[in-house]
Amino acid sequence: MVRVACIGEAMIEMSLHEDTADLAVAGDTLNTAVYLKRCAPKIEVDYITRLGMDPFSERIQKFIASEELGGSKISLDPVAVPGLYAITLSASGERSFTYWRSASAARNLFADGVFSMLEGYDLIYLSGISLAILPNDVRRSLIAFLRTARQRVAYDNNHRPRLWDVEEAQKTTTEFWSFADIALPSLDDEMAIFGESEEAVIARFSNYSMDGALKCGQGGPVSIGEVVEQVYPAAKRVVDTTAAGDSFNGGYLAARLSGESQAAALQAGHEMAAKVVGFRGAIIPKSAV
């Protein structure tokens, strides 16, 4: 059985509707873990994070279990609590976020400098956010571990400028593109991190040999590591673009880890994202997948 570890921050999501709000559970790598498991139920997917001992942390743990994700390696912090974010939408469905995460328990993940919990997996998946929330010394130690790990590594450059300075984001992203086995960057994030044009980013990734996809929005992805020319159908409707990239990653990884071709995996990722943007919030109903 294929075993995957997804590392990151699970948060409480507050989706605003005029004068009311819906509460849910989400987080970039958690979203990917959910869609990966839904698309490939036979793959064993564990979520690795740090939570508190409060009612919201309990809510997150119950959600993780309800999605059939492994949670045995989630550590608990007696003082800290989960982060919170609110989503507001424009008329076109574009989202903006407001975060309360400075005291998040996930910031203390791997604080002991021990990464043995990551051994035994076939793939380790994480993102720029997974790394940006960590103290620099812990981030450096984790990167050093992943560089020499026997497991394959998949990385999404998911970029939040407020979490770290651009120099550290550039350094970290460049490092991962030098050793990651699967690259799942977003075009706009690469442009923001490196200050490059769309054409320059696409040209740079055309020279990389790792597996993966450069996510370019509704037009569909650009294949990394293998030339693929195919058409990607537009989403039938766009209500909320939250988790579009995360769900693409889940669909893509599910296909690749199940032995599908690169072309099929790119289509699977795009189709998953096209479904997700038709609903509000990061995690759509199971019946819609």
CA separation for the pair 221, 2 (Å, rounded): 25
Q: Specify whether the CB–CB gap between 122 and 97 falls below 8 A.
A: no
* Helix 28-39, helix 244-257: angle, nearest 10: 40
For residues 180, 186, 187 and 193, what is the CA-based torsion angle, rounded to 10 degrees? Answer: -70
Task: Please pick, among 28, 156, 240, 246, the residue that the annotation labels catalytic.
Answer: 246
CA 170 to CA 233: how far, in whole Å?
33
Neighbours of 229 (CB within 10 A): 6
E-assigned strand segments in the chain: 3-7, 11-17, 20-26, 44-48, 50-51, 75-76, 83-89, 95-100, 123-127, 152-156, 182-183, 211-214, 222-224
| Whether 28 is catalytic | no
Distance CA 118, CA 78 (A): 23
Catalytically active residues, by annotation:
246
